[in-house]
Amino acid sequence: MIKAIAVDMDGTFLDTNKSYDVARFNNIFNQLQQRNVKFIAASGNQYAKLISIFGQREMFFVAENGAVIYDGEELYDYRAFNFDFYQELIHYLHYERSMQELIVCGLKSAYILKDTSETFKKVAHFYYRQLEEIDSFAHLPNDEYVKVALNINRDTHPQLDQDLAVKFADDISIVSSGHDSIDIIIPEMTKGNALKRLLAKWELTADNLMAFGDANNDYDMLELAEHSYVMENSHDQMLFDVANFVAPSNDKQGVLSVIEETVLAPEL
């Protein structure tokens, strides 16, 4: 029996316009609560961004690709990089590899440089509702750092992800949320790992979990869940190989349709 549902956001729950059918979801959410089925937003996004999408609800938020977990408004669990190592990582990216457009992600806020393009700032502010612009990455603000987000320009940095994987082999993992957008995370601090911790808390198993995703950073979440769905709009063949089912695309509100047709279907 399904007792928990985890959904990725961009390309999965949200349509191309970054929206969803709020009234339809509210009806589904209320029914899930009545059946004691837990709903989890599992995303690379910041917690503040997820709250802007769903509002305050009795649900769980797995943010920053699994490093941060909130139970409603309450911080339930998080994992942060060693600060000295994180500073070394940022120094390598910014000063040695000349990466300007970095989003340095802390528990309290995300940070970008003031001296970056307005286009980059606009995108960063859209995805990170708690965001500060700082003068330099030389001395990072006092925070617990959980992730680095960046886009790789293959013309200027064709092998950056491979170089990172070699230089920091034991200290980082790299996941993609689509195209050349990558997150540098703590090893094993993934969406799947976060869901394992929650299942243990609730005394549930993978047989009780339904999960939806469309990108590389959803792989271990889909691998974990017995009721795993890759979105038909996904461009990642590995997800079609690992998922047990295919859901209609995000622009067809595929997540909501599957939940209605399976979890909430009347019993015969």
Catalytic machinery residues:
8
Residue showing tokens 């609730």: 202
Q: Under 8 Å CB-to-CB from 84, ≥6 apart: which residues?
A: none
> Rounded distance, CA 41 to CA 54, Å?
9
What is the number of residues in the chain? 268
The burial of 61, by beta-carbon neighbours within 10 Å (0-12 exposed, 13-18 middle, 19 or more buried), is given as buried
> Rounded distance, CA 226 to CA 222, Å?
8
Write out the DSSP string of 96-143: IS----EEEEESS-EEEESSS-HHHHHHHHHH-SSEEEES-SSS--SS
